[in-house]
Structure 1
């Protein structure tokens, strides 16, 4: 075989190998959760729960129904959710806001919807609260909700948030967690 042909075949095989490596998904891609896109005031259904998110508001302080107050930058989102098929172990355990590549968990400090047990056919309503850094003027983020803390290969509900479109208030108040109907 001529050396030019051998080199051409070798370069061709290296190019094919590079393409195979580039298109092969990494293990994390194979275990990524299934995202269910949500819209404001529209129900979104994941594997274990149905949720409706509404009334997003941004404030310089937050208060809850029992009188707790804290200053800072707070994003509050009203939520209504119910279990789909079973009630055992179904609760809103995972609520995150991803903002500029950083994930913020919903705060446990105020009395909020985080951790609320869900029932089939009996929706509950309340508020999720996210404490954020002060420099989020025109940022865009994504809220992710799930009933399990380990979301690999499970469904999560995602809702985009445009902070530039939110009206800023001095104080925002969390709604009490209660039966919706």
Structure 2
């Protein structure tokens, strides 16, 4: 066996191994995480700007932190509350379109909008004509710190559907003694 043949038999397997390892590393880096094929399509929202997902549009007009929330129907509750005032409309199809997903995620905890009182949660949306109202989230006393993510969706199961998300800096919100929920109605 010549030195040239010996070099080929030793170097070629090592080069092939390095090439396969580099290819495997690249596949691991570009592969999406488990479950990501079922994730919704996210539209990022900012305060006072309209954000549109598949069949609905939302404009968050104000965010409040409060110790007492008061509803239009003489309902009230004390505690720690985050109130989101918004305007929303259907974009394509009105039938069956309502605000069915309204969650607030703070760290590892996720809270759903309350169904108590008269809020905008599960309100029907009208195509092209915004309606307004408020969502209310009852939170633990220690929850008004850090950042939160508001997630809104028009279907009960947002898998492979559009959702709207907005980041809220909880520490920047002054805590008001009481906030009255907007009455559900036509936006102005």
Both proteins in one fold, TM over 0.5: yes
- Report the Cα distance in structure 2 between the residues aligned to 1:14 and 1:124, rounded to whole angstroms: 56
* Match among 51, 55, 72 for residue 48 of structure 1: 55
Contact preservation (8 Å) 1:40, 1:54: yes
Contact preservation (8 Å) 1:36, 1:156: yes
- Report the Cα distance in structure 1 between the residues aligned to 2:132 and 2:144, rounded to whole angstroms: 28
* Match among 139, 158, 171 for residue 178 of structure 2: 171
1:99 corresponds to? 106
Q: How far apart are 1:106 and its partner, in Å?
A: 0.9
* Match among 25, 39, 48 for residue 46 of structure 2: 39
Q: Structure 1, unaligned stretches of length 5 or more?
A: none
- Report the Cα distance in structure 1 between the residues aligned to 2:58 and 2:170, rounded to whole angstroms: 21
Q: Does 1:28 align with 2:32?
A: no
Q: Structure 2, unaligned stretches of length 5 or more?
A: 1-7
* Match among 68, 78, 86 for residue 79 of structure 1: 86
After superposition, residues 1-181 of structure 1 pair within 5 angstroms as: 2-3=9-10, 5-7=12-14, 9-181=16-188
- Report the Cα distance in structure 2 between the residues aligned to 1:39 and 1:25, rounded to whole angstroms: 27
C-alpha deviations, 1:40-59, integer Å up to 9, x for none? 11111221111111121001
Please state whether the residue corresponding to 1:135 is helix, strand or coil. Answer: helix
Q: How far apart are 1:14 and its partner, in Å?
A: 3.3
Structure with the higher fraction of residues in helix conformation: 2
Task: Kindly tell me the number of residue pairs found equivalent between the two proteins.
Answer: 181
Q: How far apart are 1:162 and its partner, in Å?
A: 0.4
**Pairwise CA RMSD:** 1.8
